[in-house]
């Protein structure tokens, strides 16, 4: 399997992501944002976390204009699998590849800690190694992780099983760290080939670092 990982000015999780997928047996390639193409042998395209362009204007708002994003949209629209993690999720919403938007956390502070998530839908390649209702312990690290979508959009997400993950406590009860609508931590598009989440599964690959629950998440690909 070939995983292509995008790198913008300010990205800081590309090497964590590379390590995570290589530990699962994938080959990887990091592609700079000024590239106008994506490698033809790409099986999964990852928009990694970090602070693209210093989060100026709005997180992901400048990155969506990078030359590589035209190729990303073409790849996604042709059915290619895309995963956006943290800032990558923000970039995908800004680019219109995922619905909704990410705004400043309710408490106005950067949050960095492990947090429990409940799997809401696993009828997709991303979470197919998990089951609905499963709990995973995955790190979060964000300032603008407050997912917003209007009421009509939320109804549509529910109807199409596009809500993938919700923030909970370790018993599965809702525990919302950032104010996200309906405690949403991750979603996908209607076609279930573009995925976005604020938590970092690539940082939960080894139990010695606090959790290896990210393994099953990324293994789905």
213: left (phi over 0), alpha (psi -120 to 50) or beta: alpha
Residue 86 annotated as catalytic: yes
Residue 19 annotated as catalytic: no
Instruction: Give yes or no for a contact between 116 and 170, defined as CB atoms under 8 angstroms apart.
Output: yes
User: What is the C-alpha to C-alpha distance for residues 152 and 116, in angstroms, rounded to an integer?
Assistant: 27
Catalytic residue among 14, 94, 120, 202: 202
Catalytic residue among 33, 86, 115, 142: 86
Residue 202 annotated as catalytic: yes
Q: How many CB atoms lie within 10 A of CB 30?
A: 16
The two beta strands, 2-7 and 27-32, are: parallel
Q: How many CB atoms lie within 10 A of CB 119?
A: 19
What separation in angstroms does the CA of 2 have from each of 163, 175, 183, 186?
26, 36, 33, 23
Backbone angles phi, psi at 112, to 5 degrees: -140, 105
Catalytically active residues, by annotation:
86, 200, 202
């Amino acid at each position: 399997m070939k995983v292509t990982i995008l790198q913008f000015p300010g990205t800081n999780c590309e090497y964590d992501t590379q390590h995570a997928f290589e530990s699962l047996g994938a080959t990887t390639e990091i592609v700079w944002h000024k590239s106008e193409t994506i490698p033809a042998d790409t099986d999964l395209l990852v928009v990694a976390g970090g602070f693209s362009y210093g989060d100026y204007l709005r997180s992901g708002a400048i990155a969506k204009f990078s030359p590589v994003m035209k190729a990303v949209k073409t790849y996604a629209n042709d059915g290619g699998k895309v995963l956006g993690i943290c800032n990558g999720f923000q970039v995908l919403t800004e680019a219109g590849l995922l619905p909704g938007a990410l705004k400043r956390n309710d408490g106005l502070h950067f949050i960095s800690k492990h947090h429990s998530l409940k799997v809401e839908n696993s009828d997709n390649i991303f979470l197919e190694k998990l089951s609905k209702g499963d709990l995973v312990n995955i790190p979060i690290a964000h300032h603008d992780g407050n997912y917003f979508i209007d009421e009509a959009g939320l109804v549509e997400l529910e109807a199409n099983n596009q809500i993938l993950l919700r923030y909970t406590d370790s018993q599965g009860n809702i525990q919302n760290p950032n104010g996200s609508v309906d405690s949403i931590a991750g979603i996908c598009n209607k076609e279930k080939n573009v995925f976005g989440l604020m938590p970092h599964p690539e940082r939960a690959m080894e139990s010695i670092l606090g959790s290896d629950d990210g393994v099953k998440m990324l293994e789905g690909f």
